[in-house]
Structure 1
Amino acid sequence: MSLIVVLATHNAHKVAEFQKILGAELPGLEVLPYDGPEPVEDGVTFADNALIKARTAARHTGHIALADDSGISVDVLGGSPGIFSARWSGTRDDETNRRLLLAQIADMSSEHRRAHFHCAIALVVPDGTADAGLEHVAHGDWPGAIATEEHGENGFGYDPVFVPEGFEVTAAQLSPGQKNEISHRARAFRALVPVLARLDGGTAVLSE
Structure 2
Amino acid sequence: MGTTPASTPRRVVVASNNAKKLAELQQLLAPAGVELVAQGTLGIAEAEEPHLTFIENALAKARHAARAAGLPALADDSGLCVDALGGEPGVQSAVYAGSVEAPAGAEREARRRLQDAANNRLLLERLSGTADRRARFVSTLVAVRHADDPEPLVAIGRWDARILDAPRGSGGFGYDPLVFVDALGTSVAELDAGTKNRHSHRARAAAAMRELIAEAWRIGPPTA
TM tier relative to shorter chain: 0.7 to 0.9
2:81–2:138 contact (8 Å) kept in structure 1: yes
Residues 139-178 of structure 1 show CA distances to partners (whole Å, capped at 9, x for unaligned) of 0100010011001111000000001231321000000000
Aligned residue in 2 for 1:139? 156
Aligned counterpart for 2:36 among listed residues 31, 34, 43: 31
Aligned residue in 1 for 2:10? 3
Aligned counterpart for 1:184 among listed residues 201, 207, 220: 201
Q: Which structure would you say has the larger RCO, counting Cα contacts within 8 Å and 6 or more residues apart?
A: 1
Partner SS, residue 134 of structure 1: coil
Residues 8-45 of structure 1 show CA distances to partners (whole Å, capped at 9, x for unaligned) of 4221111111122123x43x542333231322111110
How does the TM-score come out when normalised to structure 2? 0.80
Partner SS, residue 133 of structure 1: coil
**1:48 Cα deviation from its structure 2 partner:** 0.4
Q: Separation in 2 of the partners of 1:177 and 1:100?
A: 29
Residues 43-86 of structure 1 show CA distances to partners (whole Å, capped at 9, x for unaligned) of 11000000000111121122211110000010000111101111
Q: Say yes or no: does 1:80 pair with 2:100.
A: no
Structure 1 segment 1-208 matched on structure 2, within 5 A: 1=6, 2-23=9-30, 25-26=31-32, 29-34=34-39, 35-91=43-99, 93-109=115-131, 112-126=132-146, 132-198=149-215, 199-200=217-218
Identical positions, percent: 41
CA RMSD between the two structures: 2.0
Structure 2: runs of 5 or more not aligned: 1-5, 101-114
Q: Separation in 2 of the partners of 1:191 and 1:201?
A: 14
- Residue type of the alignment partner of 1:126: H
Identify if the C-alpha distance between structure 1 residues 43 and 127 changes in structure 2 by more than 3 Å, giving closer, same or farther.
closer
2:13–2:69 contact (8 Å) kept in structure 1: no
Structure 1: runs of 5 or more not aligned: 203-208
1:126–1:133 contact (8 Å) kept in structure 2: no
2:120–2:175 contact (8 Å) kept in structure 1: yes
